[in-house]
Amino acid sequence: MRVASYSHGNQLSLLHRGEQFFPALIGACNNALAEIYVETYIFALDPTGLRVKTALLNAARRGVAVQLVVDWLGTGDETIAQLRAELEPAGGLVFVFNPWFQRGIVRMHRKIAVIDQRIAFLGGLNINDDLLADDGSAEPLPAARWDFAVCVSGPLVQTIHAEVLAQCQRLGPRPLRTRLQSFRAYVSNRQAWRTVEVAEAAFVVRDNLRNRQAIQRALLQALGRARNSALLVTPYFAPGRKLRKAMVHAAQRGVEVVLLIGVGQFVMQDAVAQSFYPRLVRAGVTIVEYRHTQLHGKLAVIDGEWATVGSSNFDGLSLFVNHEANIVVRDSAFAKSLQQMIRAAVAEGVAITAADVARLSLPRRVWNRFAYGLYRLVLQVLTLGSYTR
């Protein structure tokens, strides 16, 4: 099984919620001297998005090379048109990923920014206000969206920069021959995957070319090596069979496995996730539903030593279809800091007990199984059977 390629000498800062992330991102953009690359699934022109757009616009006007990549479905035609109307006359470039499903169902779900090849941000936060719902309704949330990003400086920034630059080049208007030459050069020059005994941080992406299951493999290996605890956080839970089995096996061998899951945003998604509850609870997995506000973080901490933060949900779309990006960290101080925050959120949540599962009504059980059956059928088609293998 391939694992992440780690590098030394990186400095990492954990950013909790938009109140920490957006000032850091905007400050970095305001101080940019040469270039800014930003990728996001959603770029909303709400109060927060307008602040970010202003920082990008000001940077472009002072001669900084600004390149913005947004997903067509996540951001929407109207917002994309407004971003282009303002950024491109100032010298910025706006790229759109997979407009009108020209490349199939795949979405660009990554959230990355790289400034001057010296500082990078990645995680789960889109460019939108974390006090407003992100489903298009813009309804106020009861509290700030629960999410994380990581600020990175050090050697890993070059790896992240190369990936974002390649994304812009793939989406730019280039002849087919140039695209093929660029792709061959990228494949031949990319860093080889290897295991390093003493390491700190790695950048792991999922796409549909060279890294189809990279993020899932990193999670599976970490779960397989877990000795004491495995804390998993996701807003949408519907992983394939391998990851579910890994969670069950870890719990059965005595590892404390805790799944903190978001609920209340999508009825169908909640039903799919709840269809897994009976088996997970029987195996000893602790399931906690976070109802305080929208949970959007995608995290895991194993044994207080290994951690991952990124854009990848623990569901079929993130693990098998969409473009995603995570950072994987082997550092006890970083992991324990994140672990403490997760446990605080777990304390705010509602634990699902065996009695809760037993009390589910027959109609509810039938609905949950139907929802999962439909989800599984769709994912089987989209992944050519990989979802259930």
CATH number, domain containing residue 276? 3.30.870.10
Annotation marks residue 111 as catalytic:
yes
Q: Are residues 28 and 156 in the same domain?
A: yes
Which one of 181, 213, 235 terminates a domain? 181
Q: For residue 306, which of 283, 275, 329 has the smallest C-alpha distance?
A: 329
Q: Is residue 269 part of a domain?
A: yes
What pLDDT shows up at residue 177?
52
Q: Which of 53, 161, 296, 323 is catalytic?
A: 296
Q: Is residue 334 part of a domain?
A: yes
Do the Cβ atoms of 123 and 111 come closer than 8 Å? Answer: yes
149: Cβ–Cβ under 8 A, 6 or more apart, which residues? 15, 21, 111, 121, 122, 123, 124, 125, 309
As given in the structure block, the two tokens for residue 139 are: 């309804």
Do the Cβ atoms of 300 and 219 come closer than 8 Å? Answer: yes
Q: For residue 212, which of 338, 16, 386 has the smallest C-alpha distance?
A: 386
What pLDDT shows up at residue 184?
53
Q: Are residues 169 and 295 in the same domain?
A: no
Annotation marks residue 296 as catalytic:
yes
Q: Is residue 191 part of a domain?
A: no
Q: How many residues does the chain have?
A: 389
Structural domain range at position 280 = 199-388
What pLDDT shows up at residue 293?
96
Q: Are residues 275 and 134 in the same domain?
A: no
pLDDT in tens, the chain (389 residues): 345 778 888 999 999 999 999 999 999 999 999 999 999 999 999 999 999 999 999 999 999 999 999 999 999 999 999 999 999 999 999 999 999 999 899 999 999 999 999 999 999 999 999 999 998 788 999 999 999 999 999 999 999 999 999 888 888 764 455 445 544 544 444 444 332 222 489 999 999 887 888 999 999 999 999 999 999 999 999 999 999 999 999 999 999 999 999 999 999 999 999 999 999 999 999 999 999 999 999 999 999 999 999 999 999 999 999 999 999 999 999 999 999 999 999 999 999 999 999 999 999 999 999 999 999 999 999 998 889 87
Annotation marks residue 46 as catalytic:
no
Q: Is residue 369 part of a domain?
A: yes
Q: Is residue 6 part of a domain?
A: no
* Cα distances (Å, whole numbers) of residue 204 to 19, 213, 309, 327: 26, 10, 10, 6
3-state DSSP assignment of residue 258: strand
Q: Which of 53, 71, 109, 323 is catalytic?
A: 109
Longest Cα–Cα distance in the chain: 63
Q: Are residues 85 and 204 in the same domain?
A: no
What pLDDT shows up at residue 209?
81
Q: Is residue 190 part of a domain?
A: no
Annotation marks residue 303 as catalytic:
yes
Q: Are residues 222 and 320 in the same domain?
A: yes
Q: Are residues 376 and 275 in the same domain?
A: yes
* Cα distances (Å, whole numbers) of residue 291 to 64, 260, 336, 376: 42, 10, 24, 26
| Strand partners of residue 148 | 16
Backbone angles phi, psi at 113, to 5 degrees: -140, 140
Do the Cβ atoms of 205 and 211 come closer than 8 Å? Answer: yes
Q: Are residues 234 and 141 in the same domain?
A: no
What pLDDT shows up at residue 181?
52
Place of tokens 């900084």: 64
Q: Are residues 158 and 249 in the same domain?
A: no
What sign results for the dihedral spanned by CA atoms 107, 345, 21, 23?
positive
Q: Are residues 168 and 19 in the same domain?
A: yes
Q: Which of 161, 303, 315, 323 is catalytic?
A: 303
* Cα distances (Å, whole numbers) of residue 197 to 3, 7, 123, 215: 12, 11, 25, 19
Q: Which of 53, 161, 298, 323 is catalytic?
A: 298
Which one of 181, 208, 238 terminates a domain? 181
What pLDDT shows up at residue 3?
57
Annotation marks residue 8 as catalytic:
no
What pLDDT shows up at residue 182?
44
What pLDDT shows up at residue 173?
66
Q: Are residues 263 and 149 in the same domain?
A: no
Report how far residue 156's alpha carbon sits from residue 178's, in angstroms, rounded to the nearest whole number. Answer: 27
Q: Directed axis angle between helix 214-225 and helix 241-252, to 10°?
A: 10
Q: Is residue 77 part of a domain?
A: yes
Q: Which of 116, 207, 331, 356 is catalytic?
A: 116
Domains: count for the chain? 2
Q: Which of 111, 161, 242, 323 is catalytic?
A: 111
What pLDDT shows up at residue 194?
33
Q: Are residues 238 and 364 in the same domain?
A: yes
Q: Is residue 186 part of a domain?
A: no
Report how far residue 5's alpha carbon sits from residue 252's, in angstroms, rounded to the nearest whole number. Answer: 30
Q: Are residues 87 and 217 in the same domain?
A: no
Which one of 181, 214, 234 terminates a domain? 181
